[in-house]
Structure 1
């Protein structure tokens, strides 16, 4: 019998006996954070998790007695787990209207713009959403940009399993455009990817989105710690370290 199973039985015995069991702690009480590989917010380098979002989450959990884990995975799975698992939060998540009532929010980890981009050698010139609707636009499944595109009347949407695949489709000419974080676009261009921005699609907050069953007391502790990280300048230091422009 596993330790979790033993503790679950102990909880049941306490409940049947009418006893309070506040001291029982197990993996069931731990908070699980899920995220994706999306530099500079979250990524792996030499087997180590790094990034603007990741570092803030680690700082945010300091001094909180609840144990936690962080796991990187494809975005659709990371997001779905936060929707369905009672003690799961996903980051770095865009706080958009379509998601407002789905989660409890801890924010902001950052404020960023989303840019619609094309290949650098593309002859097309797109100035706004109306002009962009006539082109094929790619993004990753269940990313917030999928909701943005659908909300704005795009019909030629190509959905991929992850961001890297969408980038490959754009660079190979299989799609015409894709929306992407301005910060990530800057990194891709520095790394030699032949991409250029066409126009600004949106500006949004990035946040930690937690399952609605995560206790309010824990959400409040996380928000208070994030507020302190912002107020004392540690968030700004993280932005600078990862080469992100600080938005005031």
Structure 2
């Protein structure tokens, strides 16, 4: 009986981890993350490969960015992607970086809009549409921009684009890759826009996965093992 007891305990712990489902949350961010059933996209494919290697049971759910970020900040065993790794966010997650190369994020305005968006100083005099709690929102707030004065907050980038074309805001900050896809979805042409200031360059916008800080250590280790195996394949 004493011989089998340790084996029984190990089995019970292993089964408990396998039965515990990892909650994976993200946003619609084409072409990287696409709102289909099941969720697809170039970065989603990489996340699925990593998590399949982890051996964990998981389900990917799409929410507005602010909700996904809140879940990652407040619930254990929640994996969030794609997220940029910043000093403000660093201590709140277990990080797995990078899972995809970075992106360039620029300010864009309508071609007929004469307002200047070529510098931060000039951009303080226009109204910029940002998503609540995303990197653009956080960065511009750190630069002295003010909600309701020169920042207009919404739930997603497509809402911001609609506001831009309806003349309700002056500019939006978008990744170049995503801009093309979102314009196609909404029926707008890229030629209607003018590029202004570059807000973020690829060195600071690498795609990451982030696991909530209060997560089960066994789950953290399984995700880490899956990530290491996937990284080895990239070499």
The TM tier, using the shorter chain, reads 0.7 to 0.9
Range 20-29 or range 56-65, more displaced: 20-29
- For the pair 1:64 / 2:60, whether they are aligned, the reply is no
Choose which of 69, 77, 83 in structure 2 pairs with 1:79: 69
CA–CA distance in 1 between the matches of 2:233 and 2:61? 22
TM-score norm. by structure 1 comes to 0.78
Range 178-187 or range 50-59, more displaced: 178-187
- Per chain length, whose mean CA-contact separation is higher, i.e. which structure has more relative contact order (CA < 8 Å, sep 6+)? 2
Choose which of 79, 83, 87 in structure 2 pairs with 1:93: 83
Gaps of 5+ in 2: 1-8
- For the pair 1:192 / 2:188, whether they are aligned, the reply is yes
SS of 1:170 mapped into structure 2? helix
> 1:228 maps to which residue?
232
- The Cα shift of 1:199 comes to 1.9
Q: Deviations over 1:174-226 (max 9, x none)?
A: 11111111211233456634333212111222211110133341342133134
CA–CA distance in 2 between the matches of 1:27 and 1:169? 45
- For the pair 1:116 / 2:107, whether they are aligned, the reply is yes
- The Cα shift of 1:65 comes to 1.8
CA–CA distance in 1 between the matches of 2:229 and 2:158? 33
CA–CA distance in 2 between the matches of 1:198 and 1:225? 40
Q: How many corresponding residue pairs?
A: 212
CA–CA distance in 1 between the matches of 2:155 and 2:180? 22
- The Cα shift of 1:93 comes to 0.8
Gaps of 5+ in 1: 1-18, 232-248
